[in-house]
A and B are shown apart, each in its own frame.
Chain A
Amino acid sequence: MSSTLFDAPGARGLRRQRTASAVTVLVLLVLAGLAAAKLNAEGQFSVDVWEPFVTPDYMEALLEGAWVTVRAAVVAILLSIIFGTLFAFGRLSDRFWVRWPATLVVEFFRAVPLLMLILAMYLIYGEVIGKFWSLVLGLVLYNGSVLAEVFRAGILAVPHGQSEAAYAVGLRKGQVMRLVLLPQAVRIMLPAIISQSVVALKDTSLGFVLPYEELTKTGQSIAIEFNNYFATAIVLAVMFIVVNYALSRLAVWAERRMSRAGGTAVRAPKGDLMGGGGG
Chain B
Amino acid sequence: MLLTRTYALAAAVLLAGTIAACGEAGSEGASESDVEVEVEVVANPDFPEGSTMAELAEAGTIRIGTKFDQPGLGFKSATADTPVGFDVEMGKIVAGQLGIAEEDITWEETISDNREPFLMEDKVDIVLATYSITAERRGFVGQAGPYYVTGQQLLVAEDSDIAEPEDVEGEEVCSVTGSTSIDTIEQEYGATARGFGTYSECVQQVLNGSFDAMTTDGAILLGYAAENPDELEVVGKVFSEERYGIGYQDPADTEMCEFLNGVITDSYENGTWEAAFVSTLGEAEVETPEPPAVDPCK
Chain A interface (Cβ < 8 Å from any Cβ of B): 51-62, 65, 123, 126-128, 208-209, 211, 218, 220-227, 229
Q: Decide: B26 and A220 in contact? CB cutoff 8 A.
A: no
Q: Decide: A127 and B71 in contact? CB cutoff 8 A.
A: no
A268 CB, nearest partner CB in chain B, Å: 29
Chain B interface size band reads 20 to 34
Report which of B79, B118, B123 forms a contact with A61, defined as CB distance below 8 A. Answer: B79
Which among B109-117, B183-191, B283-291 touches the partner chain? Answer: B109-117
A188 CB, nearest partner CB in chain B, Å: 28
Q: Is B75 an interface residue (CB 8 A)?
A: yes
Task: Name the residue of chain B whose CB is nearest to the CB of A131.
Answer: B109
Quick one: which of B66-89 are within 8 Å of A by CB? 68-69, 71, 75-79
Q: Decide: B69 and A58 in contact? CB cutoff 8 A.
A: no
The distance in angstroms between the C-alpha atoms of A53 and B78, with both chains bound, is 12
Report which of B29, B69, B201 forms a contact with A221, defined as CB distance below 8 A. Answer: B69
Sample of 4 more A-B contacts, CB < 8 Å, known A55-B20, A123-B114, A220-B69: A51-B25, A56-B21, A224-B69, A225-B29
Q: Is B106 an interface residue (CB 8 A)?
A: no
Q: Decide: A209 and B197 in contact? CB cutoff 8 A.
A: yes
The distance in angstroms between the C-alpha atoms of A220 and B197, with both chains bound, is 10
Q: Decide: B197 and A211 in contact? CB cutoff 8 A.
A: yes
Task: Name the residue of chain A whose CB is nearest to the CB of B19.
Answer: A54
Q: Decide: B25 and A221 in contact? CB cutoff 8 A.
A: no
Report which of B19, B24, B25, B200 forms a contact with A224, defined as CB distance below 8 A. Answer: B200
Q: Decide: B76 and A221 in contact? CB cutoff 8 A.
A: yes
The distance in angstroms between the C-alpha atoms of A60 and B79, with both chains bound, is 8
A176 CB, nearest partner CB in chain B, Å: 43
The distance in angstroms between the C-alpha atoms of A54 and B17, with both chains bound, is 9
Q: Decide: B25 and A58 in contact? CB cutoff 8 A.
A: yes
Report which of B24, B109, B207 forms a contact with A211, defined as CB distance below 8 A. Answer: B109
Chain B interface (Cβ < 8 Å from any Cβ of A): 19-26, 29, 68-69, 71, 75-79, 109, 111, 113-114, 117-118, 121, 123, 197-198, 200-201, 204, 207
The distance in angstroms between the C-alpha atoms of A128 and B79, with both chains bound, is 28
Q: Could you list some 12 contacts between A and B, CB below 8 A?
A: A51-B24, A52-B23, A58-B23, A123-B117, A127-B118, A224-B69, A224-B71, A225-B77, A225-B78, A227-B204, A227-B207, A229-B204
Report which of B21, B23, B75, B204 forms a contact with A53, defined as CB distance below 8 A. Answer: B23
Contacts of B78 in A (CB 8 A): 58, 61-62, 65, 218, 221-222, 225
The distance in angstroms between the C-alpha atoms of A225 and B78, with both chains bound, is 9
The distance in angstroms between the C-alpha atoms of A226 and B24, with both chains bound, is 13
Contacts of A223 in B (CB 8 A): 200, 204
Q: Decide: A57 and B114 in contact? CB cutoff 8 A.
A: no
Contacts of A209 in B (CB 8 A): 197
The distance in angstroms between the C-alpha atoms of A52 and B26, with both chains bound, is 7
Contacts of B198 in A (CB 8 A): 220, 224
Task: Name the residue of chain A whose CB is nearest to the CB of B121.
Answer: A127
Q: Decide: A126 and B117 in contact? CB cutoff 8 A.
A: yes
The distance in angstroms between the C-alpha atoms of A209 and B200, with both chains bound, is 15
Contacts of B201 in A (CB 8 A): 229
Contacts of A53 in B (CB 8 A): 23
Q: Decide: B117 and A127 in contact? CB cutoff 8 A.
A: yes
The distance in angstroms between the C-alpha atoms of A59 and B23, with both chains bound, is 10
Q: Decide: A224 and B75 in contact? CB cutoff 8 A.
A: yes
